[in-house]
Amino acid sequence: MAVVGNVGLCHQGAAGLLLLLLLIIISGSTTWSTDAARPPSVGGSWSTTHHLTDDNGEVTTACLAAILACNSFARRCRLDLLSLSEALDASCVTTRSGMIESYQVSFVAGVTSTGATLLPGPRLIYATMSYNLRRPDRGPFGNVHTLTILKLIVLR
């Protein structure tokens, strides 16, 4: 289920199209939760933010995890899918014990049409997203708990 403001959207065709339009056109704050309850933060409220580098693929990995989570939701709602064109920036928040609990990423992605929308031609978007991990002791792939779209700009 996606929550936009006070409106809950799920697997109905009209709701799916509305959500896609919000994803493609409007730069906003949309939160998707894949779970009802989030485990408590490890190490309490103390945390620190680290800027990631792509020397060993950290930025690309963080961006791909966000796209994977986004595409998992899009498949359930039969929406268009994203494919990474360029990973631009990433940072992570670590707990006192050194485990990563959340990421913020920026990337350029292509929008692959699944025929779900009436929008013509290939599209390219710039997105900034943040996401929390379900389990801080695991990597980001398949471990995204809540994904928030902070900025979404259609480039072409």
DSSP-derived letter for residue 137 is T
Q: What is the mean pLDDT of residues 44-60?
A: 81
Instruction: Give all domains of the chain, ordered by start, each with its CATH number.
Output: 2-36+45-154 (3.10.450)
Q: What is the mean pLDDT of residues 53-75?
A: 91
pLDDT-derived band at 155, boundaries 50, 70, 90: confident
Any idea what the Cα angle at residue 127 is, between residues 124 and 129, rounded to 5°?
Answer: 150
pLDDT on residue 79: 84
pLDDT-derived band at 121, boundaries 50, 70, 90: low
For 65-113, how does the pLDDT look when each residue is reduced to its tens digit (9 = 90+)?
999 999 998 888 888 889 999 999 999 999 888 889 999 999 999 988 7
CA dihedral 32, 105, 39, 9 (to 10 degrees): 0
pLDDT-derived band at 132, boundaries 50, 70, 90: very high
Q: What is the mean pLDDT of residues 113-142?
A: 82
